[in-house]
Amino acid sequence: MAERAALEELVKLQGERVRGLKQQKASAELIEEEVAKLLKLKAQLGPDESKQKFVLKTPKETLMGKYGEDSKLIYDLKDQGGELLSLRYDLTVPFARYLAMNKLTNIKRYHIAKDFDIAGNFDPMIPDAECLKIMCEILSSLQIGDFLVKVNDRRILDGMFAICGVSDSKFRTICSSVDKLDKVSWEEVKNEMVGEKGLAPEVADRIGDYVQQHGGVSLVEQLLQDPKLSQNKQALEGLGDLKLLFEYLTLFGIDDKISFDLSLARGLDYYTGVIYEAVLLQTPAQAGEEPLGVGSVAAGGRYDGLVGMFDPKGRKVPCVGLSIGVERIFSIVEQRLEALEEKIRTTETQVLVASAQKKLLEERLKLVSELWDAGIKAELLYKKNPKLLNQLQYCEEAGIPLVAIIGEQELKDGVIKLRSVTSREEVDVRREDLVEEIKRRTGQPLCIC
């Protein structure tokens, strides 16, 4: 035990030396030499079996080869010691690796503010339908405008490419070109496939006949009768699953938000089945608004083969998930608020406790404590004698809707002056009725006594 403690202290000191050299921007040779010493000490130390600690690190080579042409979106950098690092592109590949490393076969996870995944062997399309339901619920609750969720299936795409005459080696690169149809015209996509990727013009034309179609379950049924596509096993499986998916989406009440779009390709290589992407429906820009051009606001799909890539025995764990485009949604909300000249609320505070005269700090503290005890989100300025104008200005800047004003006359009369920040209307409310009045105005449930 004493020997291990001594080694741990040496590792700690050597680690501090390496960090110090990096901060001093010492030569790469010197840093590499000291890092080697640190690694040697760590190897001597070995793992501490008494500590149940798990840290998931994803090397760059693990990320490469999973995103197709989107691999260019992985940004590389080196730290001061010359170690090659990468900014994480998404959370799906690390999640799949986590499942493989921990031999997990069933899990449902929600990553704060962004991702949702379901892993495990389940009956077809039930988890997929739930993911689409969740996506629609999130986008509807955000009230960012009308949206449409495009769906397709990688098996349908691969079957379509096969019957159109695309060679296996070109499937993924042609898939990446098709995925640009929501941004550029078919002619531009065709020119890229023919001019840059060496596809025969007649093959591109056959692809164009399919990828320019979109609709609902009726299009799925139409393609199930297509004399060529229906003869491809992969495409037939994909179309069968999509038909089932639409049945579940109808039961969930969201089929009117879904469009089967054969141009949707999702350029990431790890998708194996159903894929989907939510886009805002363009509406004429209101006065003062710039036309929105943010692209998709949510996307996802099925990736049944990714976990097996990290499992030593190649065991597969079917997975499906979605990701919300938080940054894009923020840009939409901010733009619309600016156009409407609305303030962005920076606090959840419902009421500011203010004073109209000096020497009323004790009364403000008493009142704010009463409001806190009643479950009201209240605050006050941390000054003994703030000016009333400054208190009101603070409410306007922070977006606090109400001000509870205490003055000498109000104290004598047993009332509180309640002010609406937006309308500037003021009413006297008896102190014992203040909590209920604030709840009524802010939409909180009233107390039934």
Burial of 55 (0-12, 13-18, 19+ CB in 10 A): exposed
DSSP state of 75: P
Q: Is the CB of residue 365 less than 8 Å from the CB of residue 432?
A: no
Per-domain boundaries in the chain:
1-51, 107-340, 351-442
Taking only the tens of pLDDT, the chain with its 449 residues reads 677 778 888 888 888 888 888 778 788 788 888 888 887 887 777 655 554 444 445 555 555 555 455 445 555 565 555 555 555 556 777 778 778 878 888 887 776 657 899 999 999 999 999 999 999 999 999 888 899 999 999 999 999 999 999 998 888 889 889 988 888 999 999 999 999 999 999 999 999 999 999 999 999 999 999 999 999 999 999 999 999 999 999 999 999 999 999 999 886 678 899 999 999 986 544 444 444 445 789 999 999 988 888 888 888 899 999 999 888 888 888 777 777 766 667 788 999 999 999 999 999 999 999 999 999 999 999 999 999 999 999 999 888 999 999 999 999 999 999 999 999 999 999 999 999 999 999 886 655 44
Query: Residue 343: its pLDDT value, please?
Result: 65
CA 376, distance to chain mean position in Å, is 31
Fold of 107-340: BirA Bifunctional Protein; domain 2 (3.30.930)
Is 92 labelled a binding residue?
A: yes
Element (H, E) at 394: helix 388-398
Query: Residue 337: its pLDDT value, please?
Result: 74
Query: Residue 292: its pLDDT value, please?
Result: 47
Rounded to an integer, what distance in angstroms lies between the CA atom of residue 441 and that of residue 373? 18
Helix 2-23 to helix 28-45 angle, to the nearest 10 degrees? 160
Query: Residue 285: its pLDDT value, please?
Result: 47
Element (H, E) at 151: strand 147-153
Element (H, E) at 129: helix 126-142
Query: Residue 445: its pLDDT value, please?
Result: 62
Query: Residue 79: its pLDDT value, please?
Result: 53
Claim: this prediction has a pTM higher than 0.85 = no
Fold of 1-51: Helix Hairpins (1.10.287)
Provide the β-strand partners of residue 261. Answer: 214
- Which CATH class, in words, describes the domain spanning 351-442? alpha beta
Is 266 labelled a binding residue?
A: yes
CA distances from 316 to 48, 106, 119, 301, 343 (A): 31, 12, 10, 16, 50
CA distances from 174 to 12, 163, 179, 198 (A): 52, 14, 9, 10
Is 90 labelled a binding residue?
A: yes
Is residue 416 helix, strand or coil? strand
Question: Strand ranges (DSSP E) for 284-413?
Answer: 296-302, 319-324, 351-355, 378-379, 402-406
Query: Residue 432: its pLDDT value, please?
Result: 94
427, 428, 434, 438 alpha-carbon torsion, rounded to 10°:
10
Q: Is the CB of residue 106 less than 8 Å from the CB of residue 120?
A: yes
Is 117 labelled a binding residue?
A: yes
Is 270 labelled a binding residue?
A: yes
